[in-house]
Amino acid sequence: MIKYPEPTVSAIIYNPEGKILLCKSHKWENKYVIPGGHIELGEKMEEALKREILEETGLDIYDIKLIGLKESIYSDTFYEKKHFIFIDYLCRTDSNHVSLNDEAEEYEWVDIKEIENYDLGGFTKELLLRLRNKNEPQDYIEIFYNY
């Protein structure tokens, strides 16, 4: 077991129709979450985000904006006992074609107004509700703890 916090990046990805990508993951109790992953040693956060999104979804992303920081210490919603620091971004893609790797089982492009219709894992619902309720979502950073 790793003995220190693990920094991870994740993305709320908008497609050309203005819908966001949700991926169903066995790591999060088979619930929908936003894609992302670990930052490698020597890798910048945005580089890690682009790499992880490409690996997990096959999508190229751009117009990347930092929107939130979260800490999760031994969450019972994750399949392993971990201490994460989640660094969340908003971004865009020009494609609707998603090619999942083995970290997710399904995906959906979702209107943010309809997120209550999905079984969201971890902190995803809280993050998306806060985003939806902001007037200028690209101009804020939220920091909240223990999700």
Secondary structure letter of residue 71 according to DSSP: E
Mean pLDDT of 137-143: 53
Contact 72, 50 (CB under 8 A): no
pTM: 0.86
Whether 61 is covered by a domain: the verdict is yes
Whether 1 is covered by a domain: the verdict is no
User: Residue 142: what pLDDT?
Assistant: 56
Cβ neighbour number for residue 32 with a 10 Å cutoff: 24
Query: What CATH number should be reported for the domain holding residue 85?
Result: 3.90.79.10
In which domain, by residue range, is 86 found? 6-145
Amino acid letter, 115: I
Torsion of CA 46, 52, 56, 61, to 10 degrees: 20
Q: How far apart are CA 16 and CA 128, in angstroms?
A: 18
Whether 127 is covered by a domain: the verdict is yes
**Whole-number percent of the chain with pLDDT over 70:** 88
* Alpha carbon 145 to its chain's center: 16
Whether 29 is covered by a domain: the verdict is yes
Q: Which two tokens stand for residue 30?
A: 């088979």
Whether 15 is covered by a domain: the verdict is yes
* pLDDT of 98 higher than 50: yes
Confidence band of 134 (pLDDT split at 50, 70, 90): confident
Secondary structure letter of residue 94 according to DSSP: S
Domains identified in the chain, total number: 1
Confidence band of 147 (pLDDT split at 50, 70, 90): very low
Cβ neighbour number for residue 17 with a 10 Å cutoff: 8
Whether 58 is covered by a domain: the verdict is yes
Question: Does 54 or 123 have the greater pLDDT score?
Answer: 54
Whether 112 is covered by a domain: the verdict is yes
Q: How far apart are CA 71 and CA 64, in angstroms?
A: 21
72-95 pLDDT, tens digit per residue, is: 888 776 667 788 889 999 999 999
